[in-house]
Amino acid sequence: MRLTDEEQAMRAGEFGEPRRWAIEHQVTVGDFFDAADFVPVTHAHVMADTESLGEAGVSFLEGLAGAPEAERRVRVPTLTDPRGLDPAVYKRLGQSEAMREIEHKAIAAFRTLGVLMTDTCINYQTILPPTRGEHLAMGDTGVVIYSNSVFGARSNFEGGPSALAAGLTGRTPRYGYHLDENRRATRRFRLDTAPRDLSEWGALGGIVGRACGSYWEVPLIEGVGEAPGSDALKHFGAAVASYGSTALFHMPGVTAEDAEFAGPASEAVCIGRAEIDAFVESYGATGDKVDVVVFAAPQLSLIEVAAVADALAGRHVHAETTLLVTTSPEIKYAADRMGLTGRMEAAGAVVAAGICFYQSYAGELAEANGWKRLLTNSAKLVNIIGGYGYRPTLASLERCVASAVAGRVV
Amino acid sequence: MATVLRCHPGIGPAVTGTALVAKDNFSARYDLDRKIGVFSRPNHALAGQSYNGMILVLDQAKGGVATAWMLHEMKVRGIVPLALVFNRVNPILAQGAAFGAVTMVDRFEGDVTDLIRTGDELRIEPAGGAVTILNR
């Protein structure tokens, strides 16, 4: 990679050890992807739940945090993805004191580095929406694909260490979705039906993601009638990214950029009612006992929180079922203020802030609570959670709530 | 007797070990029980098999960003693949390999999951962009 004088000085340690580590890490990654140089980023977003970090990762952060203040503070605003634990509900969910302790250590280290503890994977809905052409170092696949596609911003998937490195250096290697040539469509799909709710937008994303199956494919989806709206695109994008490891999609008339093809436009793959129904059915389990109903992945917008509260009106969650709602701290404050949290809790729901379930020791949660059958309206979550030993079912928000009340999949 | 496969220059130190091959993808969060070191996702081609100390040969990296931290955590605990050999990785796996100093290469001429078989003895030299099949 070509390095500026400042970047070379950083690499030589003239700006301190944290920035030396950061740029060395970034050069290794940049060389691997044949990046020509660095590109400045306006902000970074770090995925660093303690389940992923482990003791080793927290010790690493504490090492960086031990540097002098001028050397350790991030250079551009740096946000955090959801955490492993919400101190307000961790006991009720069966999480341990050891988990709380390691979480506390990680938070202390991040604060010392100057990181803003936003604890959210919907920062584009709640903190600061990106703008077209803005280069970013976003650390959550759902955030990346939404930022790239809906806003026309430019980010690769930046894992925790790389996003933190970008915060410390204020730049990221220029490869992947920072470059025009990688943003053209490579796969073509045609939607022949209208997804009926968020779970079906997620199912559509799962179908597209599975078909792409690569970070380097860019799907183009034709035939989307009315603008789906932010929550639908959120669930769609999160599922494309989860099933496909894909980071950008084009939806003509909806997304930000002109959808050019990288080569000759290929024959469109048609996705209709049968394909969406089959996808949902593949996770079906009607009649089974429901252990836990989860609204998460991504965290809920205020509109989604209100929809759950409305669906629970006049009902109560079954004694042998847990209903968990996760959202960002900002939305939780709003839900508290508007009485939504109180209504959901009165109906027996657990409302958590700053977590997103699968990043919260999902395996240990299953063990502690005896959870097996999980119901959710998030296609992303049903894709992830099988590896943690759950048997996941995908259903609409209304069906999820009705099942939570009945204690079985209805 | 040895076969040399060329690839893009990779990450991490040169290593020698045994291949575990599957036509499937990889995410540390989605696919692994990292405590005991086995593939735990029921529908993964390597479900139930141990990855500890093996050279994993797979198709693509998939899923979320957690692998970037997890490879480091796995390396420090000593329950980790010896190396990762893929047709094509995403940035997360590259970043995770760089952070955890785990050997990783990708971008071969041909499908690496066809070129290498489970049980093959491999020498991986990331700096030179070469994987040598030592037993054939």
How many angstroms from the chain centroid is the CA of residue A252? 24
Query: Is residue A262 predicted with pLDDT exceeding 90?
Result: no
Q: A14 vs A79, A113, B33, B91, CA distance in Å? A: 26, 18, 41, 28
The pairing of strands A38-40 and A171-173 is: antiparallel
User: Residue type at A248?
Assistant: L
- pLDDT tens column, A77-110: 999 999 999 999 999 999 999 999 999 999 999 9
Asked if residues A233 and A204 have their Cβ atoms less than 8 Å apart, the reply is no
Q: What is chain B's mean pLDDT, rounded?
A: 95
Q: Which residue of B has its CA nearest to A32?
A: B10
Cα gap A165→A40, rounded to integer Å: 12
- pLDDT tens column, A36-71: 999 999 999 999 889 889 999 999 999 999 999 999
Give the model's pLDDT for residue A363: 92
Residues in A 34-53 with any Cβ partner in B closer than 8 A: 47-49, 51-53
Q: What is chain A's mean pLDDT, rounded?
A: 96
- pLDDT tens column, A269-299: 999 999 999 999 999 888 899 999 999 999 9
Q: What DSSP character marks residue B61? A: B
Q: Find the largest Cα–Cα distance for chain B.
A: 40
ipTM entry = 0.96
* Chain A residues with beta carbon closer than 8 angstroms to that of B25: 213, 245
**Count of H helices and E strands in chain A?**
17, 12
Give the model's pLDDT for residue A260: 85
Cα gap A188→B23, rounded to integer Å: 24
Closest by alpha carbon to B65, among B90, B39, B87?
B90
**Count of H helices and E strands in chain B?**
4, 9
Domain A5-179 has CATH 3.30.499: yes
Asked if residues A248 and A215 have their Cβ atoms less than 8 Å apart, the reply is no
Tokens of A66: 């031990």
Cα gap A254→A356, rounded to integer Å: 27
Mark A198-220 as b/e (b = at least 16 C-beta within 10 Å): bbbbbbbbbbbbbbbbbbbbbbb
Average pLDDT over residues A374-403: 95
Higher pLDDT, A232 or A226: A232
User: How is chain B split into domains, by residue range?
Assistant: 3-133
**Bridge partners of A323?**
A293
Q: A328 vs A46, A120, A123, A219, A354, CA distance in Å? A: 15, 5, 8, 29, 5
* Chain A residues with beta carbon closer than 8 angstroms to that of B31: 387
Architecture, CATH, for domain A284-406: 2-Layer Sandwich (3.30)
- Min distance B2 CA to chain A CA atoms (Å): 26
Please name the residue that has the structure tokens 């994993």: B56
Disruptive mutation site among A143, A245, A364, A381 for chain B (greatest number of B CBs within 10 Å): A245
- Min distance B89 CA to chain A CA atoms (Å): 8
Please name the residue that has the structure tokens 């490869």: A175
What DSSP string describes A155-180? Answer: -----HHHHHHHHHHSEEE--GGGSG
Query: Is residue A245 predicted with pLDDT exceeding 70?
Result: yes
SS3 category, A368: helix
Give the model's pLDDT for residue B53: 97
The pairing of strands A171-173 and A350-353 is: unpaired
Q: Do domains A5-179 and A284-406 have the same CATH topology?
A: yes
Give the model's pLDDT for residue A259: 81
- pLDDT tens column, B35-87: 999 999 888 999 999 999 999 999 998 767 888 999 999 999 999 999 999 99
Of A55, A157, A214, the CB nearest to B88: A214
Closest by alpha carbon to A145, among B83, B90, B101, B29?
B90
Give the model's pLDDT for residue A285: 82
SS3 category, A141: helix
Which pTM does this prediction carry? 0.96
Give the model's pLDDT for residue B64: 78
Q: What angle do CA A198, A204, A208 make, to 5 degrees?
A: 145
Cα gap A48→A58, rounded to integer Å: 9
Query: Is residue A332 predicted with pLDDT exceeding 70?
Result: yes
- Min distance B42 CA to chain A CA atoms (Å): 7
Cα gap A53→A330, rounded to integer Å: 24
Fold for the domain defined by B3-133:
Glucose Oxidase; domain 1 (3.50.30)
**Bridge partners of A294?**
A324, A376
> Among the listed ranges A12-16, A124-128, A242-246, B27-31, which one has the minimum average pLDDT value?
B27-31
Give the model's pLDDT for residue B63: 67
Q: A270 vs A91, A244, A257, A394, CA distance in Å? A: 47, 18, 22, 22
Asked if residues B59 and B87 have their Cβ atoms less than 8 Å apart, the reply is yes
Average pLDDT over residues A68-76: 98
Closest by alpha carbon to B51, among B13, B79, B91?
B79
Asked if residues B85 and B55 have their Cβ atoms less than 8 Å apart, the reply is yes
- Min distance B69 CA to chain A CA atoms (Å): 6
Q: Do A141 and B65 touch (CB under 8 A)?
A: yes
Cα gap B52→B33, rounded to integer Å: 11
The pairing of strands A187-191 and A269-271 is: parallel
For B108, the enclosing helix (H) or strand (E) is: strand B103-108
